Amino acid sequence: MPLPLIALFIAAFAFGTTEFVIAGVLPQVAAGLDVSVPTAGYLVSGYALGVAIGGPLMTIATAKVSRKTLLIWLALVFIGGQLACALAPDFASMLLIRVLVAVAHGVYFGVAMVVATGLVREDQRGMAVALVLAGLTVSNIVGVPAGSAIGNVFGWRATFWAMFLLGIVSLVAMIALLPRAAGASARPAGLMKEVRVLGRQQVWTSLIVMLMLMMCQFVPFTYIAPMLREVTGLDPAYIPLVLLLNGVGATAGVFLGGKLADWKLMPSIIVLTAVQSCVMAAMYFSSPHPLPMVVIVTIWGAINFCIGTPIQTRILAWTADAPNLASSLIPSGFNVGIALAAFVGAMMLTGGFGYRTLPVLGIFTMLVAAFIALCSHLAEQRSGLTPPARAVTA
């Protein structure tokens, strides 16, 4: 893989870490800013909304900016944001800073995936997307635990000082490794064309499949700790290890998904979504038994991200002639899906369903995803259409 992809990976790792590390130091942040822990939780939901809403809007607004220039400016926003968080005097300023960084996050992942696929041959697009996504999964395995440990030992502000230094590393890597014309289109597609490509059935069906995947993943994952504790009977001390195994599985799944996307994209999505439905059934039946449950949670994490990579590769392939808005909807869709999944899970629990029933929803969402993917693939074959050519680059 080209060296520029390493620079994109480092920045993805930085953005992923800063999004999720706040959960590891939330009590300390709440105490330091003199607010309750539930109030401090708005730092998490505010970030998600910044990605989901601000990301697409800012992507449209910056469509004419050189991609390398834009990526460098996003890294500078990240660096400034971490510095401001480390020095934040109160909760309101901390929340505002987090939302601004989140907007940069939303723009970054959309632009980075377009740039990544433009740096490689067509038959390597899946692996290019996988490498960018790996920044997110590795951030959960390495970045979040490390950032939480720094915060616990040196105070929560030290976590953001560490993120500030990581941002500088990512900035230097992008300046040094990204080619000047990376992802720079000779003529921006224009807003109306950007909107029209969303009407291609390959695009909107992929977005629906992605939403179904988020429901399968985050309805149980949002409540994975109490599920493992109360249903599986796992000692709380072992729960971080189970989450680590889930993250390791997710990272392996990202790269396997990249290989499958470059080999047989649509058959892979169809088969994997059907298999994941079976995995969710296995999770339901194995949840009272510790060892089988740990194995299933690891496999579940791997397949979630194994599916996600081909979905995103397909969206990028079918919007190659107008990629900005569609690519920004990928991280936006992820965060909307996460928020919706948490809400649906809460509704299920307050409605009298126990933690054990949460994976049952994933059985049906993955069957729906498999059916939609199959219908989309058959329609695509009947039409005889092929993905559009990439926008001409400067």
In tens, the pLDDT along 365-384 reads: 999 999 999 999 999 999 98
Query: 288: Cβ–Cβ under 8 A, 6 or more apart, which residues?
Result: 231, 232, 233, 356
pLDDT for position 394: 39
pLDDT in tens, 198-257: 889 999 999 999 999 999 998 898 788 889 989 999 988 888 888 889 889 999 999 999
Q: Is the dihedral of CA 272, 277, 278, 282 positive or negative?
A: positive
Is the pLDDT confidence value at 349 over 70? Answer: yes
Q: What is the pLDDT of residues 19-72, one digit of tens each?
A: 888 877 888 889 999 988 878 888 887 888 899 889 888 988 888 888 899 999
Q: What is the pTM of this model?
A: 0.81
| Backbone torsion region of residue 264, taken as left when φ is above 0, otherwise alpha when ψ lies between -120 and 50, otherwise beta | beta
Distance between CA 13 and CA 302 in Å, rounded?
18
Mean pLDDT is highest, among 9-23, 277-291, 318-332, for: 277-291
| Residue 188 near residue 393, CB atoms below 8 Å | no
Position of tokens 């490794």? 177
For residue 138, what are its two tokens? 């590795």
Lowest mean pLDDT among 25-39, 66-80, 84-98: 25-39
Side chain identity at residue 349, one-letter code: L
